[in-house]
Structure 1
């Protein structure tokens, strides 16, 4: 979801602007995934006020909510495989996720108070609306090294998600239920390799994806009057939703399986080549964080009260408008305007890279995708250094010869 920094001269504490060759190294497939997923997110939010009056809108809502965030989270996990906690990665974690969370958490609460006209407490521990994903990604990324050293990480994450689903005592701080219940998708992404995504592109897999989509839509239409959409949010333990404890393990497995199947089907049909919207994939974090103001405001401003919106044509128009709005919010001009709060440069807040050993290659972007290349780092082939043996003569006592210099490479 992150974009590359703007062009300019390299300054201390700032990442250098990517060269055209680096920009070309981005994998268009994953940019396409991110753009199409953010469009589904925006559509889902646009359908929320329509659900009471339209069973079709409710069915589409359940269908999309089964896999749109799992797809995002799997990709974020995939591109978090290189996270080891290096100083440069921690700096990007703070500036690309931590700071935007603080800024937009406050901004959304101020917006709520001003537009909705009702009081809402300021709490940095209680993520507001879309900001939950930032705090979740922050926590998941920090735990990435742990998941890479244990056996059966996905099964362990599923166990944690299951325990969370039956643990109302966890409370609401940091939206911990969502953090833990969506965790298996992130851990799954950590275990994937590029060839796994390539296998999804096989004709037989793509063919099987079609009946999976149709079947899921039919099940969603059937489930509308029988199942609450709250199941797909993963914000509560089952006891808080008025269900018996044993439904927690059952629904955790059902939702994970359904999300996994539909995510695979979705990924199978995402184009691999560059398209007109590929470049927009670099700005999906902007679209995600900014579209929420319109999604919330449209309800408070009474836009959905217009009679024409209740018609099939009106619902199609609302869907198309949501797609257009989020697309505009992913464009380069919007990114330029809001970069100071979404991808702030905060070199002044950190020690120099040399003093922290942060001279390693760039880490991942805030959404788990590399800022200069959407893919794991290519293996390096470095020719062995052929340097002549150095002989350093010890200065003779009383001479004016300079003392030997410390070897900067070895620290000797």
Structure 2
């Protein structure tokens, strides 16, 4: 269905955009407002999509092996690459596989999501439990970035929500994709207009309370300066905001197939590689004191889209497939567990075209 590929690609463009404009936010209020508007929902939407294409049934041996080949092995490979990059560029590196570098936290989060979902699905009200886990984790200072645990637990409700929507077949029952009259899109645009106005009009307030850091779901409430008992209510509001904006975002996603639709099948390539492209821009300071904003901000937006397009093209996939889709047959005692055909990636992207009819009737979501 083109809609999901369109949604995945739109999400990954926003991921690249958010990382690209981050340096501009120090000197530009407009860039900060855009940054806040994007971070309020882009990773929640990505987690919802990933959850939608996930199974809660006990994993088979092949599915267990795919956690290793699709998540753990690429994680180790790219952690080593980041260590080497920092050593070559900065002259120093601190190898620590327990502390994910930059964007790699989401790989571990996907692995943990897939491991805990079958247990949550056994319980009544799994959405409620995921909310309690997310909100409760913020009260515990020892739940930190080690193995990206803090962010994983923080974003857990979005992933579970995506699975819950698929489990109850709400998309088909409510015709959420097929039936989208003009007023639905109008409401979605109005929601984003209000979000943009709030982000811009009170941008100094949001800077003073470090709202952007709250959107990371990475720090405890005490580390964020919220030492009150009701700090969890702030996270709950941010989760509700993320869901509302994600729904509005999905309402605006085109349903038909476009020239860029196919790129939605290769989001993991863009996700893992774009940080290396942006690394020089972040570290050289070229985007600090970049004036005028009206010129630099649009330029960075265009650059972000270009990066997301190029990194999803066939030549890039051909070069980097051994790193992003490693087979690692030598790791397994039973080599039959390792698929020889192209696999879906952990975000739920369906790459294989062969056997499409069979997959449509009996999908193999990740």
Asked whether the 8 Å contact 2:23–2:282 carries over to 1, the reply is yes
Indicate yes or no: 2:88 matched with 1:114. yes
Q: After the TM superposition, which segments of 4 or more aligned residues of structure 1 sit over 6 Å from their partners?
A: 373-376
Residue of structure 2 in register with 1:196 after alignment: 171
Residue of structure 2 in register with 1:368 after alignment: 348
Asked whether the 8 Å contact 2:51–2:159 carries over to 1, the reply is yes
Rg (Cα) greater in structure: 1
Residue of structure 2 in register with 1:4 after alignment: none
How many Å separate the matches in 1 of 2:303 and 2:342?
37
How many Å separate the matches in 2 of 1:173 and 1:257?
26
Asked whether the 8 Å contact 1:161–1:181 carries over to 2, the reply is yes
Change in Cα spacing, 1:362 to 1:303, as seen in structure 2 (3 Å) is closer
How many Å separate the matches in 1 of 2:135 and 2:316?
40
Per-residue CA deviations over 1:124-182 (Å, capped at 9, x if unaligned) read 11111000000110110111211222111111100001111111122331121101010
Match of 2:124 among 114, 136, 151: 151
Match of 1:299 among 279, 282, 294: 282
Match of 2:297 among 300, 309, 315: 315
Residue 371 of structure 1: CA displacement?
Answer: 4.0
How many Å separate the matches in 1 of 2:346 and 2:55?
13
Residue of structure 2 in register with 1:391 after alignment: none
Report which stretch shifted further, 319-328 or 216-225.
216-225
Change in Cα spacing, 1:147 to 1:65, as seen in structure 2 (3 Å) is same
Report which stretch shifted further, 188-197 or 90-99.
188-197
Match of 1:43 among 9, 12, 17: 17
Residue of structure 1 in register with 2:141 after alignment: 168
Per-residue CA deviations over 1:269-297 (Å, capped at 9, x if unaligned) read 11111111011111111111111012222
How many Å separate the matches in 1 of 2:254 and 2:142?
44
How many Å separate the matches in 2 of 1:255 and 1:353?
44
1:323-362 map, 5 Å: 323-352=305-334
Asked whether the 8 Å contact 2:34–2:199 carries over to 1, the reply is yes
Residue 342 of structure 1: CA displacement?
Answer: 0.3
Change in Cα spacing, 1:232 to 1:147, as seen in structure 2 (3 Å) is same
Asked whether the 8 Å contact 1:79–1:364 carries over to 2, the reply is no
How many Å separate the matches in 2 of 1:132 and 1:83?
25
Residue of structure 2 in register with 1:88 after alignment: 62
How many Å separate the matches in 2 of 1:172 and 1:276?
38
How many Å separate the matches in 2 of 1:221 and 1:128?
30
TM-score (norm. length: structure 2)? 0.88
How many Å separate the matches in 1 of 2:313 and 2:299?
22
1:9-408 map, 5 Å: 27-81=1-55, 84-117=58-91, 119-193=92-166, 195-196=170-171, 198-199=175-176, 201-203=179-181, 204-227=183-206, 228=210, 229-305=212-288, 307=290, 309-352=291-334, 365-372=345-352, 378-379=360-361
How many Å separate the matches in 2 of 1:313 and 1:367?
34
How many Å separate the matches in 2 of 1:138 and 1:111?
25
Q: Give unmatched runs, 5+ long, in structure 2.
A: none
TM-score (norm. length: structure 1)? 0.79
How many Å separate the matches in 2 of 1:149 and 1:82?
9
Asked whether the 8 Å contact 1:161–1:180 carries over to 2, the reply is yes
Per-residue CA deviations over 1:223-248 (Å, capped at 9, x if unaligned) read 42112111111110010122123353
Asked whether the 8 Å contact 2:37–2:199 carries over to 1, the reply is yes
How many Å separate the matches in 1 of 2:239 and 2:357?
25
Asked whether the 8 Å contact 1:80–1:368 carries over to 2, the reply is yes
How many Å separate the matches in 2 of 1:179 and 1:325?
26
Q: Give unmatched runs, 5+ long, in structure 1.
A: 1-26, 381-412
Aligned-residue Cα RMSD (Å) equals 2.5
Change in Cα spacing, 1:58 to 1:257, as seen in structure 2 (3 Å) is same
Residue 74 of structure 1: CA displacement?
Answer: 0.4
Asked whether the 8 Å contact 1:37–1:72 carries over to 2, the reply is yes
Residue 363 of structure 1: CA displacement?
Answer: 8.2
Report which stretch shifted further, 38-47 or 75-84.
75-84
SS at match of 2:204: coil
